[in-house]
Structure 1
């Protein structure tokens, strides 16, 4: 393929245009943090949709615990916080003196003709006061906040004014810094339910873009970010470095409908008490326990969340993952009855996502198919240990079938597909088809060359085929990547 100077120039112009859109949207985009007893435990992004209204995700501001508070600040305030203390003190003092002097002169000229004082706007205040919630959608993770001050709102686009492969810009906060991410719409066929946007995340990307606006090339909002999946190091789609990831966004139709239904202001403390809203707090606690390896506690929080709000699909996947990992830990301890029980609960949760006809996002189904396939594989290992070879073979075959579906539904996304190929390779190796297993491991490594387990498992398959030297090379590579990996 020949790329000429004109193509390069056009690409440069598009990039520059998106950067300008990001800069123009800076004063309309705010940083939100939820604090508990003085500690920040949730951060995210919001943006003005009307002069006194800010849109964001429910999970960004979920709380409901005694001592919880939400703070909204601008990029200007975050940048001000990095200025040395002496400059922070001297600059406002100088400004105050100037304002007093100018104010005295104005008062002398306009005495007796004072106009009523209007609300502060974004030029005058770096922080905002939340009056409460005017509307929320607890199924789609979207909330509208009413603030006392006023800001510059972003223009809303048209829900049908974009196509697949269209370039977009996502603006928000990462590590308290205002940043933009360029991407392309990779699936517009579900634009009334969910937008899928392909991006390459920077190496240092963490969290904070939840609630960010998705902007088209006119700087208009066409969606609200609510999750990032891809680029993970495991089977759960967590974010990694410089790999293709997918940002999923709530489409404009849902945001516009919510704005149209905005009503009386409900205080944050009152709103936090709604059962379906409180579910998001349980999810956050469950996720923290899952990351810490405290699977029993994570499962309890997910149970509580689903009892409060059974419509949050991602919780079934998270609970399935927690039960799967808890089952693995029980199996390693030799507690096979308990392991089976947790594996079956995981399979049931993944099946609920797969069979839910309301869900149309293929990426969720693909994760559920792979999760269920991996759990079938783990159950197959137990059956193999107990000598139930025929039953084990059926489970390994079910794994292959599930991963085939997962791969079909997830045609892009290196890290997720790498995980899927690894799952299928493990099942094929268990079925005795080591050559096809190696082919899957090869593809998995091509997509993610930094994961030790992939080399280790490929080495086992090669050893079964008598490829001793190649197997030892894979084992050495695995050990180099992870010195603690089992021999």
Structure 2
């Protein structure tokens, strides 16, 4: 069986190589010349830097992204099959809304056939081709191919969504199908900032559909000199946008916003730039400005899924939970596979105490796939939703359902521990898992199942101690450990833990109340009454006497 699988994989790889080879014969490397700052005498020594890829769509015509050929002193094209770089002479067609341009060069290349992007199906395997190296001094350019699948096909949208990770060198390069036809032009990875952070890495990429390229080719007209074209204000906007992307990548968010603003002043139709500026505004704590930018992005592109679910998250931040749900639901209508839309909608539903619906949304988001940061949030919040729903069921007298929900929360807390980005967050989930075990133990104890209760109390104590080890300022972990000590009649030790919890969190009503119970068990009623009174002062929901 293993040998058969090996042969199958070898055959697939051979097919892949043939597809890649055919595509690379039509691909090019775009090179920009920039000053390095190193001087020889009075002259600046220039270097040749690869700016992206492109491919022949006619003997003298190359399709690529606008952003690959702006912001440089000159642009040269080096076909894979030819050792000599050629200057770009003219532009024969372009779309400054979708980042697409058709260049003309003075040499012929082998055109790559265009496929019909409208026939793509979700899950279909595709390959993104790019050129590596390709420096002017090099004898031969080398190619690279990245496999992916079609993840989203959205009507009336500017991009195809692909399940893969691409590098900046893929920008402008072809995305091909198994027949070797170009079905799109890569615009690199997920270049836009996300709702959970501008540095998030998603295993998604985007491509301009090949039918958009076909439509642009039908509009090919009189050639415009390349340098003249690059001076157009709407084209210069891409230079500012490129600087913005770079600053964003370097986490210089205010500087990135300035470049994005300059880009939009030159070209107000760039939905992606409004979206990115909005994401950075949100990250910097300006949700109102972010919403204004996402409004503008949607005015440019009413099917911009990311703008909907990010605007929904910002509305939730501002307390407009219903508005957040509406925006995220709209995003889901346009792209049912937009995992962050389900995640953001779940966050809004949690605020409205719609725990059952929130759990369903977290389930869907996790089944589709989230970034690492969002996956942590989904596991943590889904566990929290189950825990809170369990408390509601317990208050309603449905103990069996409450116990089931507490049990269901435990594996989610375990997953959150595994993917937590730092020790303090892992500690929080150790404690929450421990407290869920403690609550189940209380039910087992009340039912007379002492052996099961003891095991759960011990497990709860272990989890609370693991939480304290990872974060000694976690007041809740001290409180959980204290509660388990009470279960083992270690009231004096429990009081010390409650003291630590209250020192860390002076308004911790639950800790005062529980410490009062421990003191009461030791016969210190006056001190217990003081703690009960303090708990009631902080939170009137606590009765003065238990």
Deviation of residue 192 (structure 1)? 7.1
Which residue among 287, 294, 309 is the counterpart of 1:343? 287
Structure with the greater alpha carbon radius of gyration = 2
Q: CA deviation at 1:314?
A: 2.2
Partner of residue 278, structure 2? 320
Question: Conserved in 1, the CA contact under 8 Å of 2:417 and 2:429?
Answer: no
Asked whether 1:138 is paired with 2:93, we answer no
| Structure 2 partner of 1:419 | 374
Seen in structure 2, the aligned counterparts of structure 1 residues 367 and 459 have a Cα distance that, compared at 3 Å, is farther
Residue 279 of structure 2 contacts residue 310 of structure 2 at CA under 8 Å; is this kept in 1?
no
Structure 1 position 397 matched with structure 2 position 341:
no
Q: CA deviation at 1:222?
A: 0.8
> What is the CA-CA distance between 1:174 and the residue it aligns to?
5.4
CA apart distance, 1:397 = 1.9
Match of 2:26 in 1: 28
Question: Within 1, Cα distance between the matches of 2:280 and 2:223?
Answer: 38
Q: Supply the distance in 1 between the matched residues of 2:414 and 2:79 (Cα, whole angstroms).
A: 47
Q: Deviations over 1:151-206 (max 9, x none)?
A: 1111112233432222211111457652101122223354874322222x4xxx74
Higher helix share: 2
2:420 is equivalent to residue 455 of structure 1? no
Residue 195, structure 1, aligned to residue 153, structure 2? no
Which of 171, 189, 207 is the equivalent residue of 2:168? 207
Counterpart of 1:332? none
Deviations 1:236-260 (A, max 9, x none): 47575xxx71221111110001111
* Deviation per residue, 1:21-47 (Å, 9 max, x gap): 102222221222334334678721111
The number of residue pairs the alignment matches comes to: 389
- State whether residues 55 and 145 of structure 1, in contact with CA within 8 Å, keep that contact through their aligned partners in structure 2: yes
TM-score (norm 1): 0.65
TM-score normalised to structure 2 length: 0.59
Preserved contact between residue 413 and residue 430 of structure 2 (Cα < 8 Å):
no
- What is the CA deviation profile of residues 131-169 of structure 1, one whole-angstrom value per residue up to 9, with x for unaligned ones? 021111111111111111111111112233432222211
1:273 aligns with 2:231: yes
**Structure 1 residues 311 and 407, CA gap change in structure 2 (3 angstroms):** farther
Decide whether the 8 Å contact of 1:42 with 1:61 is kept in 2: no
Unaligned runs of 5+ in 2: 36-45, 135-141, 321-346, 390-405, 439-459, 473-503, 505-546
Displacement of 1:405 after TM fit?
A: 7.2
CA shift digits 1:373-411 (9 cap, x unpaired): 56769xxxxxxxxxxxxxxx9997279999987986896
Higher RCO, 1 vs 2 (CA within 8 Å, ≥6 residues apart): 1
Checking the alignment, whether the CA contact within 8 Å between 2:163 and 2:204 is kept in structure 1 is yes
**TM-superposed deviation, 1:304:** 1.9
Shift of 1:306: 2.0
Q: String of CA shifts for 1:427-461, please: whole Å, max 9, x gaps.
A: 99799959799876655566x56666752553575
Q: How does 1:84-483 map to 2 (within 5 A)?
A: 122-123=81-82, 125-173=83-131, 178-188=143-153, 190=155, 193-199=158-164, 201=165, 206-229=167-190, 235-236=196-197, 245-327=203-285, 342-350=286-294, 352-353=296-297, 358-363=301-306, 365-370=308-313, 373=316, 397=351, 412-415=368-371, 418-419=373-374, 422=377, 425=380, 433=388, 448=419, 454-455=425-426, 458=429, 461=432, 469-470=462-463, 473=466
1:32–1:60 CA contact under 8 A, matched in 2: yes
Residue 419 (structure 1) shift = 1.6
Q: Deviations over 1:186-230 (max 9, x none)?
A: 23354874322222x4xxx74211111011111111111114239
Tell me which residue corresponds to 2:486: none
Q: Distance in 1 between matches of 2:348 and 2:179?
A: 54
What is the CA–CA distance in structure 2 between the aligned matches of 1:13 and 1:32, rounded to whole Å? 32
